[in-house]
Amino acid sequence: PPCNSRGTAFVPPNTTMPWMWMSKGYGKGYGKGYGKGKGGKSRLAGPPEQKIWLGNLPADLKWKELQTHIDELGTKSAWVEVFGGKSAGTGAVVFKSAEDAQTALAAINGSTIKDQQITADTWVPRPKEEAPATADGAAAPAVVPVA
């Protein structure tokens, strides 16, 4: 490549040099392997004893408002999430221990935020659907209907 007066390679300004961004950790071989921010680890992962489901939440409620409300009731939350879409009006709270979750459940259930009474219940994980078993106990193969 052409050189400048100091004998170094001349690169026009405002151009990207692949070897520069790869040396800063943006190339292959770095990162956690979760892709472009989709998928990844869920913050709601963990034992269900530490989680509480919340219902009857106001539609315009933000997670920070809910976190402040829960913390004011006496138990510090580890993670708060307000769901939207088809699950609008519901949310989840994660605590550091099962004891904190049980204490908070009693305090949160029936409390009022933005003139709405919150319903709180224990977190029940969704059961995994399995294929029906055959007579010999093995899982039945998936059958695709032919049109």
One-letter amino acid for residue 52 of the chain: I
Beta strand 91-94 pairing with 51-55: antiparallel
Q: pLDDT, tens digit, for every residue of 102-117?
A: 999 999 999 999 999 9
* pLDDT number for residue 129: 72
User: Percent of the chain scored above 90 by pLDDT?
Assistant: 38
pTM of this structure: 0.59
Average pLDDT in the 121-139 region? 69
pLDDT of residue 125: 77
Instruction: Say how far apart CA 102 and CA 21 lie, in whole Å.
Output: 49
31: pLDDT confidence band, cut at 50, 70 and 90? low
pLDDT for the residue numbered 38: 56
The residues facing 112 across adjacent strands are 117
Q: Which DSSP category does 33 fall into?
A: S
Q: How confident is the model at residue 46 (pLDDT cuts 50, 70, 90)?
A: confident
- 66-119 pLDDT, tens digit each: 999 999 988 899 999 999 888 889 999 999 999 999 999 999 999 999 999 999
pLDDT of residue 126: 75
Mean pLDDT, all residues of the chain: 76
